[in-house]
Amino acid sequence: MALSHAILAVLADRTCSGYDLAKQFDGSVGFFWNASHQQIYRELAKLEQQGIIVGETIQQDSRPNKRQFSLTSAGKAMLCDWIAKPSSLPPTKDELLIKLFVGHLVPLETILTLLQDQQTLHAQALETYQSIAQKYFNDPETFSEAGHFQYLTLRNGIHFETSWLAWCEEAIAYLKQYSDQGG
């Protein structure tokens, strides 16, 4: 369901080939929706069949030809309808938390290592977001209309990663304390 909408969302901004889309889903939109190139090509074929997007073959020399896709008016309408529908909370799937949930089955060191690794990954993600913010989103006064909304999704990522890091620190400190005292 939602992969198709994510593709429409990217195509709303600008026409893209499958390859371009795959790159978008690996950065920018990819920060909150993942998709591999295989999924994207399959979905593009389906959407074209349904008349939601149209593809145009672009002849290129010194490069493979490509197909540029853009939204039809049906596609635009579909996207806007979907945006207006209420969204429920996204289902969480976090394997680290499952591991932690049964952390008492393994040595404490194992769990601390997992937490520290996760902390590093979240710190890296935060740095990525912050450097994007500095480069492209420095002064809200200068943003395009679309820019304001993109900025807010970036702010979401920054909030999210910051709170993960805070939790990691809390969790590590907590486990160290309770293993010293009680374990």
Q: Which residues bind DNA (CB under 7 A)?
A: 1-4, 17-20, 22-23, 34-39, 41-42, 44-45, 60, 62-67, 91, 93
SS3 letters across 107-162? CHHHHHHHHHHHHHHHHHHHHHHHHHHHHHCCCHHHCCHHHHHHHHHHHHHHHHHH
Q: Which does 74 bind (CB under 5 to 8 A by kind): a second copy, DNA, none?
A: none
Q: Which does 50 bind (CB under 5 to 8 A by kind): a second copy, DNA, none?
A: none
Structure tokens given for 2: 């939602």
Q: Which does 64 bind (CB under 5 to 8 A by kind): DNA, a second copy, none?
A: DNA
5 is a contact residue toward a second copy (CB under 8 A): yes
175 is a contact residue toward a second copy (CB under 8 A): yes
Angle at 10 between CA 6 and CA 16, to 5 degrees: 125
Q: Which stretch binds a second copy (CB under 8 A): 14-22, 39-47, 130-138, 149-157?
A: 149-157
Q: Which does 89 bind (CB under 5 to 8 A by kind): DNA, a second copy, none?
A: a second copy
H helical segments located in 16-144: 18-24, 37-49, 73-84, 95-101, 108-136
CB-CB contact of 74 with 51 (8 Å): yes
103 is a contact residue toward a second copy (CB under 8 A): yes
Q: What is the closest distance, in whole angstroms, from the C-beta atom of residue 26 to DNA in the complex?
A: 10
Strands 66-71 and 53-58: antiparallel
Q: What is the closest distance, in whole angstroms, from the C-beta atom of residue 18 to a second copy in the complex?
A: 18
Q: What is the closest distance, in whole angstroms, from the C-beta atom of residue 8 to a second copy in the complex?
A: 8
Return the DSSP state at 14. Answer: S
Q: Which stretch binds a second copy (CB under 8 A): 14-22, 39-47, 106-114, 126-134?
A: 106-114
Residue written as token pair 């200068």: 142
- Phi and psi angles of residue 59, each rounded to the nearest 5 degrees, phi first: -70, 135
